[in-house]
Structures are given as C-alpha cells and as structure tokens.
Structure 1
C-alpha cells in the first residue's frame, strides 16, 4: 500500500464490522514482513492508525481474536514497545472529560452516557430550510457541535431537511449556513435530504412490497380523527399490488395520485399516537423544489427521511428536542424494519422564553404581513434578530451551552439572556454622549473658569479600560442638557458636569416654566465631584459637529407570557413594539460603523445598525442606534 492509501485507511476506521473489515484486510497484507507501516521506526502514520484502531470496538474485537496475524502482531508490538502511545490515548480521554466537566461547571450537566461513544461519535444538525434559524435552533446546533467536535473529537454533519417545497427557499438554506458560521460552528459535511430522494423512493417501494406501508385517500380531518380514536383506516388492508399502482399514480401526479398519501403500517391503536400509521410520502405538484425543480411530484416526510438518511450518512448520535420524544419508538421501528444501522437518540429540552414564540410558521406570518422589518428584525427571536439587537456571538454561545442538554422544560425570562451579554460588552464598549433633540435645554456657562473660546481635549473612551483609546470632547460656553435633568435642578444647587467638573445652577426659570427653555451654570471646577447628588451628561454646541442619531427601543412582540398552540396570534400581538427618539450625539459617534457596540452615558448600551453614510428608511446623514437590553428591563 502507498502512503496516501494508508492515510485514507486511517480516516475510514469508524464503522461497523462490515465497513471496516476491508481496511483491516488491506493492513494485514501490507504488514507482511513489516514491523512498521512505513520505514524502520515509529512514524506519525503508525500512531494515527494505531489510535484509530484502538478507539474502534469492532476493530479491537478482530485484533483480540487474532483474525489477522500480521495486524495483531503489529498492534501488540506497538502497544508494548511504545508506551507513549498509551499516554496519548489517556490524554485525549482526559481532555474530553475536562471539556465535559468545564461545561457542566459553567451551567448544565454534560455528563451524559452516550451509547457506544467509544466507537466514535458523529452528530448532525438537521434544520428545515423554511425560515431563518432561531435561538431554539442555536441550542440544537451548539449541543450537537459540542458533543460531535469538542467532547468526543468526532464529527458534525449539517443536513438541510428539504422535503417540503411549499415552505422552503434557497434564501433560507443559504442563511442557515451563514448563521452557523457566525456562531463558530463548522460542520464537516453539508448535505441535503433531497440528495437521497431516489433512495427514499426505493425505500418506500420496499415498505409497500413487504406489506409495511399502504396508500390512503382518507381526507385530512377524518384521518386525524381516526388516529386520535385508534380507528383503522378503511384503506389499511389494500393489497400490495393496489398500493404499488397508486404509488405510481402519486409519482406521476395524476388526479387519483393526488388524493392519496403513503402511510407506514405500524399500529392502529398504540398508546403512543406517533406510532399510529404515520404518513411517510405525500404529493406536491404545485410547488417546484428549489434544488430538484419539477423532477419529483412526491416527497418523503421527516418521519421516514430522518432515520433512513441518518443511518446512511453514518450518524451515531442524533440530538433533538423533547418535542420529538414520542417519535423515538417510530424512529427505531424504521431502523428495525428496514434493517438499518443503529442510530442512538438523545432528547434535550428546547429553550422557551416568556412572551416569545418560536414557530417558524408564525414568525413567517409576521414577516409576510409586514409586522416586522424581516427575519433579522431586532424584535425577532432569530439568530440574526438577537444579533441585530446587540447580542454578541460569544455571549450567545456561552448562554446556550450553560443551559446544557437537560430534558427539563422551563420557560425562561429574557433578563438572564441579556445579562450574559452585558458581561461581554461592558468591559469593551466605548462611552459616548447623547442629548434628546426634542427636549434639549440651552445652557450658558459663566464664571472665571468658563472657556473664552471652544476647545477640545482627549478623554478616555472607557474609564476602566484605557486600551479602548481616547475621544475628543468639546468644551465651550454653550451647552445642551436633557430637559429631565434640568427639571430636577434647584436654583443655586451644585451639580457635576460629567467629564468636566462641578457647576452651580443659576437663573433657573420659575417652576411653572414647562418646558424649560434655558438655564445658566457657573463653573466651579475646584468643587468636589463626590459631594454632588446629580451627575449629568451634556454636549457642547461649539467646537464640534454634533451628530444626529435615531435611538430605537423595542418591546415584546406579544402580550401573553406563553402563547398556546390554539391561541390566535392576532389577538396577542403587541400594537406598539418599536419607538424612536431623535438625539444629538458627540462628534465621535459619526465615525462609528455598522455592528459597533457603544454605551451612551446614563442611557444604556446600543448597537450601531446604520452608520452616518448608510441609508436608513430612505434617509442618510444620521446614525441609527438600537438599544441593547441589559437584563434589568424585561424587553
């Protein structure tokens, strides 16, 4: 064998007996009259293949039985003469346990007893490209990535479950791939269920021929009622020949074919309703598939495609949310009936948040009816939505992984979600200043210390993190303050102008003045800033070009903490979910770029959605800032 062939062998030792035996035979022949695989001393290739064999239970079984004399001799020799390899095995196992322990310490328990994990772990993420990924998908993807890549050094496969052309779009499939990349998830492979349409069609044919599936033209409402009551369909005892003929009609999309679906013949009255003859094939002649066009007029359902393709693709452990738990026996029925390779299941609780729904159908309705700006609207619970709201990817990953793979279903408040993000952004968010345009009060600065002319000085962007750099702050005799601050003043009161110093309030209008048009402040820079009760933000109208900004605040989309399946969405939609305030900001805000995150002093954190040169709702020349929740307010 050539070196490249040996390398190929080393990456292929992950299957069952039948799949690895050809590789063992090749190694057996190569090792005739050889002590090492290549050369006359232990090589990287020897180490790699020995470790691959050691971690494969099927391979170890062959070796212990002595089925291959030369391979057994080589394997034993390496183990005895090179004990350092055992150290490498232990180090890898210790590293895996350390990752699991660290993840468990950070939050949820990751100490799962995954079946047959010593044979290798291949996980998969299986989204349907019928919408953008939401935070529930993020949990499934990150957990599969953790177990597939980090905990067990295995694989993660991404498969887009594109079996319903009525809902799916290329736009959604591309967005899913992009969002996973943004979260730092790099699948080892990308496949589509549609890659297996021919195989799935033949699989369904086989089920019909073996008497394990039948064609049914029962209408949807009657079928639902019969399944609920455990009543057999009147079509359940159709002959194999009749079922095959109708399946062919379905494939051709004829009038007769369109009346029918194919159901697996599992049970009529099983207590688990998922086992009551589920539909496994449907007709769809109206919508072309975004990848296969009009080639197919029939499509497999998730219930059939999931176990078949999981087994075919070498998935060893399929993680999915507890809403699918009832389908686990059904999944196993298909594996057993079709005599497919075993795939182990693990269920975890999906993430639920108050006043939030994760139904892609309902989210799509909001988009289609213009209730939100799109799938990336900052009010949407999509990955792009929460990112546009200001959630950072490190905080998102950390928060979700801390939830762990527990099966306990809980409804969480958003406060903990955004509090995790605050810990990420607070140490690095530059500080800036904003004053409301509508409520700005003109302030005249007087006194011996008042500047004769406007000037600028360098000030830290972050008082506790000087590495963030400095910004220009303008000082002059003409300032603006927020109306709410000025209304709280008393004539003669000493206040602190943040980043400047103290001042006495002079010439405050009578209490009846509303709004207050102007006020005078006499500088007292020798005053003790610790002695004042009011520290206020301000902006100089001279010495800088003030920047116009839109400050956006967002609220929940719905008014009910938990939306039930039977609830009508329209009745619980919040009529007002977005408000905007125009503000003046310091000149430094004008240089901010999209996705920058800042803190406006005494207002909160904001993400830059549009820079000053970007167009926003037909306008330019202003910065658009989206308020980032901090965990204090339930928004």
Structure 2
C-alpha cells in the first residue's frame, strides 16, 4: 500500500516516526492501527485513514492492526463488521492475524477500571446524564463536583461490581474518572468511562451489561496491543490529555502516544455516519453501497478502483490544518487511472436506428479494432458490421447548429473503425419524432480515410442492430451544492441532486460486453468510464454503472447555471 505523503517532502507524521526511530523510542518499533466503529459502512474519509495507517506501517517495516471498536451494542452489527473487513482488504490493507475487537478486552478493561477506583481516581456517580452535563459547565463556566464524588473506595467498588452484575437499570449509575472539575478543558471534568447498557452485543451476547466509553476503551486497547503511534483526526486533539491521563495512570513502561491529522473534508458530500444512515433508512438511496454514496462500498460498486482511491489519498496529503478538497480531484484520480487501464468498447445509450441502404441485405462483416489506443498488450477485438445499426440519438440533428459536426441530412461522418456514411433520408413517426435514418456508405473507406482525400470532421461510435440490450445507469453527484450540511438552518437533504441517477433500460452494447464479469470496467468510447454492476447484473444481462465522465462536465454545468 502506498504511503500517504504531502506533495512536497515528508508529512509531519513521517517526521515524528523517523525522529522516534532515531531516538530509540518504542525500541524503534512502528505499530499503528485502524480502529473503526462497526456502526455503519466506511466512507472515503476512512479510506484516507486506512491508507495512512497501513501505509506508514508498511513504509517503516512495522505492523498495523485492524481493530473494531465495538463498545456500543445499540448501534453495532455483524454486517458492518464484514463490510469493514471487505473494504480494508480491497484497499490493500493487510492485518494478517491482527484483527481485534475492543470486546476482546472487556475483562481487562473492567480490571483497569477497578484499578482506577482502588487508586481513588474513579467513582460511581448517580447523577443522570443531563445532570452530569449541567454540572460539567463549559469553556466559560467551571464545573461543579458531583455530590457522589467523595464516595469511599469500598462503596465505589461495591457499586461498580453490582453494576456489572446487572442490579441497576440503564442510566442509574455511571463510572467517572476523578480528575479535575475546575480544569479549563471540560474533557478533564470527571468524564464518564463506563455506562450501564442492557443490550445484546454482537459478539459477547448478554455477558455484559456495562460497557466502557470510547475514551477509556480506545487508549487502553492501544496499550494492550502495543501500539506505538495512535493516529486520529483533529476532532480528538482536545481529548489527547484524557488519553494521556488514562494511559499514564494505568500503563507502566512503553506506552502509545496519540497524534492528530486533519480529516478529509470533501465537497458535494456528507461524511457523517449518522446522516449517511439517515439517507439509507429513509430510502433516499438504495443502500450503503448505492453508487452515489461516498462509502467505500458505494465507490467500488460504481466502478472506482482501489488504486485511484489510494492515489487520491496520496495527492491530498496529510496536514494539521483543515481544508476542503474539491470532488473534481477525486474524479480526476479515478479518470486518470481508468484511462490507463480500461479497455475500450462501444455502447449506444439512446439508440437511433440507421439503415445503410447500399449495403447488401443479409450480409455482415468483421472489422478489427484496438482495445486500447496506447496499450498493444490489451489486444484487438472484432466488430460486426451490418446493414442496420444504431448510433446515439444525440449524434443526429435534422437542422444542425453551427459547430455541429456529427450526422445531419446530406452530411457525411466516419463510423469508428468502420466506414464513412452519409445521411440521405430521415424517417419520422406520426408524432414527428425521428425514428430512423436512411444512409449510404462508401465501401472504399473501410477502417480509414477516403481514397480521394476528402475529410470528415465527425467520428461516431455505433453498434450493430443485433447488439444486445443492456441497462445503463448514469450516476452523478448526490448533492447539488458544495457544502450540503454547512447551512444549520436547512436540512442537508434539501440539497440532494434530483439528477444524480438516470436509468437507461434500452441501451445497446457490443456483444462481448454482454458476458463481461461483475466489476469489469471499460471506457465506452465518447461516453465515459463504466463498470458492470456487482449486485444487479445477471449472466448475459449486465447492468452498467457510469463511474465518471470522460471530462469534468460538472464544472461546465455549474458555470452554465450561473
């Protein structure tokens, strides 16, 4: 896996690691982890973290663990666990035998909590969650001591044991760290570290009814696993003091340290799992893997390659300053990767029938064409040319405007890898709609230029009339504005793009495309990059998703709309 680096020189995390190695800190070891919560599918922001953690470990000959932070049984599910594993593997993350769960350590974490109580550094508080919040104050108001703060060690141990035994209902008691209610940082004002939650856990079942909170479980899981560099995003920066306090009071010897980097902020999308889940639950998308979603599974289903996402992560770099990344950069990375690797093919999305009147009836021929203009190793394929064929309806204009160089009455164009054809007559239905073109072809122009030297400006893609029918889905950005969740007075869903999906059920594709394998990708000439949908395709009946257009058409549309 490629290490994420800034455009110029090393990023600050690489500098930290190299200094630690020079000084002998952690014995020169580098051990990172990727610790998602299994409460939803991973999104593109997680892709950056995956590339960073696994990439740094690989670069410095270290290790990276996959650890599922499953401390909230109300929101977690084995489906989420499985999706996380698939996504990490697909991106290139290898954890070998180092897949762990926070739930692996529940007994140890309970023991750590008991140790804090015995040290007089934790107590059982009987305030409600609302009362705890009110007592804590804020950045301008100092906190107040809980009336239960001075319970004896013995009473706290007894209450905590009874909490574990299930004697109390949810919310009756909370175990809190005993730090400093007057601290200028509210994080240190006796934060809760254990809560009562009578809920079935996806791994431990009903064994536990108390669960550690993230701040307690995360840092101690790092310590248990021997993590050296605990890398997280900037929203955890003010919580580093709590990380250090917990680890410092419970861990002897070599210990992990937390470092923060700026999370990915991508235009035209939302990154909140809560909001992604809301769209799934409300049926605004077809699921977590809807190709319009910026989840890793959605991007994969749409046709984005793992290599393009790794390239994107590398290009955006790692810094300590929040900044917005434009969606066009992601699309550029996808486009550049597919341009190099995608074999070419022809498909007609909105078919318009063409009859070559001077081509013999019942005759057909095979025309050779390249699968990629710059990669001979991808070979060649044969195109079946017939008297009847299809072109794009948009490639014909009965009264052409200035600059329209495609097919029009009396005009001549080239069919890709085939012949020059000329439109002689236009056939319309009883509503005046063009339904068929009658053309002639020049047999002397097969696969090349005209012998007499005449030129044509338009080259069209086409398929024979016998080409199979396929469904094509044209995906676009899910939101129509750059920052759909920035306006706090408006529901982010009001900015959903009504044109984010167009389904074309009667497209025609080259015969070889009918047998394409799921996730196979192609450049449909003149149209964009497409892949075979991994979910809805059937043998001989593929569904093609548009991954990205050939050019950044979105920017042009935005300028046009101003």
Fold in common (TM above 0.5) = yes
Aligned equivalent of 1:252: 165
Q: Does structure 2 conserve the Cα–Cα contact (< 8 Å) formed by 1:550 and 1:623? A: yes
Task: Please report how far the alpha carbon of residue 166 of structure 1 lies from its aligned counterpart in structure 2 after TM superposition.
Answer: 0.9
2:102 aligned with 1:182: no
SS of the residue 2:434 aligns to: coil
Aligned equivalent of 2:290: 377
Aligned equivalent of 1:481: 391
Task: Please report how far the alpha carbon of residue 273 of structure 1 lies from its aligned counterpart in structure 2 after TM superposition.
Answer: 2.3
Q: How does 1:246-285 map to 2 (within 5 A)?
A: 246-255=159-168, 258-285=171-198
Q: Does structure 2 conserve the Cα–Cα contact (< 8 Å) formed by 1:108 and 1:401? A: no
Aligned equivalent of 1:561: 482
Q: Does structure 2 conserve the Cα–Cα contact (< 8 Å) formed by 1:605 and 1:627? A: yes
CA 1:208–1:559 in 2, change beyond 3 Å: closer, same or farther? farther
CA 1:139–1:442 in 2, change beyond 3 Å: closer, same or farther? closer
Question: Which of 133, 137, 143 is equivalent to 2:42?
Answer: 133
Query: Separation in 2 of the partners of 1:615 and 1:332?
Result: 49
Aligned equivalent of 1:288: 200
SS of the residue 1:140 aligns to: helix
Aligned equivalent of 2:71: 163
Task: Please report how far the alpha carbon of residue 231 of structure 1 lies from its aligned counterpart in structure 2 after TM superposition.
Answer: 2.5
SS of the residue 1:622 aligns to: coil
Q: How does 1:366-405 map to 2 (within 5 A)?
A: 366-405=279-318
Task: Please report how far the alpha carbon of residue 452 of structure 1 lies from its aligned counterpart in structure 2 after TM superposition.
Answer: 6.8
Question: Which of 20, 23, 29 is equivalent to 1:116?
Answer: 20
Query: Separation in 1 of the partners of 2:487 and 2:64?
Result: 32
* Residues 230-258 of structure 1, C-alpha deviations (whole Å, 9 max, x = no match): 32133333333333333233212223674
Extract structure 1 runs of 4+ deviating beyond 6 A.
Answer: 449-452, 509-513
Aligned equivalent of 1:577: 500
CA 1:107–1:517 in 2, change beyond 3 Å: closer, same or farther? farther
Aligned residue pairs, count: 523
2:422 aligned with 1:498: no
Q: How does 1:56-455 map to 2 (within 5 A)?
A: 103-104=5-6, 109=11, 111-114=14-17, 116-117=20-21, 118=24, 119=27, 120-150=29-59, 152-188=60-96, 189-227=98-136, 228=138, 229-232=141-144, 233-255=146-168, 258-285=171-198, 287-340=199-252, 341-436=254-349, 439-447=350-358, 453-455=363-365
Task: Please report how far the alpha carbon of residue 590 of structure 1 lies from its aligned counterpart in structure 2 after TM superposition.
Answer: 1.2
Q: Does structure 2 conserve the Cα–Cα contact (< 8 Å) formed by 1:349 and 1:405? A: yes
* Residues 570-612 of structure 1, C-alpha deviations (whole Å, 9 max, x = no match): 44444553220130112111121101101112111101115xx
Query: Separation in 2 of the partners of 1:149 and 1:463?
Result: 35
Whose Rg is larger? Answer: 1
2:506 aligned with 1:588: no
Query: Separation in 2 of the partners of 1:219 and 1:325?
Result: 27
Q: Does structure 1 conserve the Cα–Cα contact (< 8 Å) formed by 2:515 and 2:542? A: no
Aligned equivalent of 1:518: 436
Task: Please report how far the alpha carbon of residue 105 of structure 1 lies from its aligned counterpart in structure 2 after TM superposition.
Answer: 5.2
Structure 2: which 5+ residue stretches go unaligned? 401-406, 556-562
Query: Separation in 2 of the partners of 1:555 and 1:399?
Result: 19
Aligned equivalent of 1:51: none
> Which piece of structure 1 moves more, 273-282 or 228-237?
228-237
Query: Separation in 1 of the partners of 2:80 and 2:415?
Result: 50
SS of the residue 1:456 aligns to: strand
CA 1:434–1:196 in 2, change beyond 3 Å: closer, same or farther? same
CA 1:633–1:247 in 2, change beyond 3 Å: closer, same or farther? farther
Q: Does structure 2 conserve the Cα–Cα contact (< 8 Å) formed by 1:264 and 1:280? A: yes
CA 1:442–1:144 in 2, change beyond 3 Å: closer, same or farther? closer
* Residues 89-116 of structure 1, C-alpha deviations (whole Å, 9 max, x = no match): xxxxxxxxxx98x945588736422353
Aligned equivalent of 1:550: 471
Query: Separation in 1 of the partners of 2:289 and 2:114?
Result: 42
Query: Separation in 2 of the partners of 1:105 and 1:416?
Result: 14
Query: Separation in 1 of the partners of 2:304 and 2:51?
Result: 16
Question: Which of 464, 486, 490 is equivalent to 1:540?
Answer: 464
Question: Which of 587, 595, 604 is equivalent to 2:528?
Answer: 604
Q: Does structure 1 conserve the Cα–Cα contact (< 8 Å) formed by 2:33 and 2:67? A: yes
SS of the residue 1:116 aligns to: helix
SS of the residue 1:481 aligns to: strand
Task: Please report how far the alpha carbon of residue 486 of structure 1 lies from its aligned counterpart in structure 2 after TM superposition.
Answer: 1.7
Query: Separation in 2 of the partners of 1:242 and 1:633?
Result: 67
Task: Please report how far the alpha carbon of residue 615 of structure 1 lies from its aligned counterpart in structure 2 after TM superposition.
Answer: 5.5
CA 1:226–1:560 in 2, change beyond 3 Å: closer, same or farther? farther
> Which piece of structure 1 moves more, 503-512 or 491-500?
503-512
Task: Please report how far the alpha carbon of residue 301 of structure 1 lies from its aligned counterpart in structure 2 after TM superposition.
Answer: 0.8
Task: Please report how far the alpha carbon of residue 464 of structure 1 lies from its aligned counterpart in structure 2 after TM superposition.
Answer: 2.8
CA 1:446–1:108 in 2, change beyond 3 Å: closer, same or farther? farther
Query: Separation in 2 of the partners of 1:107 and 1:506?
Result: 62
Task: Please report how far the alpha carbon of residue 514 of structure 1 lies from its aligned counterpart in structure 2 after TM superposition.
Answer: 4.2
CA RMSD of superposed structures (Å): 2.8
SS of the residue 1:387 aligns to: helix
CA 1:373–1:537 in 2, change beyond 3 Å: closer, same or farther? same
CA 1:211–1:576 in 2, change beyond 3 Å: closer, same or farther? farther
